[in-house]
Amino acid sequence: MVTHEDILKIAKLAKLEVEDSELDGLTKDMNEIISFADTIASVSAQDEAYSDINGLENVLREDVVQPGLTCDEVLANAEDTDGSSFVVKQHA
């Protein structure tokens, strides 16, 4: 169970200021978060009944290598080249 002292220590580590009036709410919220995390942790990951409740599956295609452009085709519309590369002007 998280206490006011725990909240103050966490706030100090995070370099946050916490008013005394906020301690009750923050303590309650932190305990609810931890309780929720405990509930999630207690669920068995081996239960496949919930692994695909919508019946969806990935539809993937095989990768197929297709021909690309030649170096000359890539550089055809370039403003400036050195024969095999783009030449880019240096900006100051």
For 10-52, the pLDDT digits (tens) are 999 999 999 999 999 999 999 999 999 999 888 776 655 555 6
Helix axes 4-13, 20-42, angle to 10 degrees: 90
The answer to whether residue 12 is domain-embedded is yes
Cβ proximity of 7 and 27 under 8 Å: yes
Q: Using the structure block, give the residue that is written with the tokens 């709410």.
A: 25
b/e sequence 33-62, b meaning 16+ C-beta within 10 Å: eeeeeeeeeeeeeeeeeeeeeeeeeeeeee
Between 91 and 76, residue with greater pLDDT: 76
The answer to whether residue 70 is domain-embedded is no
- The model carries a pTM of 0.48
Name the residue range of residue 26's domain.
4-43
Mean of all residue pLDDT scores within the chain: 88
Check whether 83 has a pLDDT greater than 90.
no
The answer to whether residue 61 is domain-embedded is no
The answer to whether residue 87 is domain-embedded is no
* Averaged pLDDT for residues 43-67: 76
pLDDT of residue 56: 77
The answer to whether residue 89 is domain-embedded is no
- Using CB atoms within 10 Å of the CB of residue 69, give its burial: 0 to 12 exposed, 13 to 18 middle, 19+ buried: exposed
The answer to whether residue 21 is domain-embedded is yes
The answer to whether residue 36 is domain-embedded is yes
pLDDT of residue 50: 57
Per the structure, how many domains does the chain have? 1
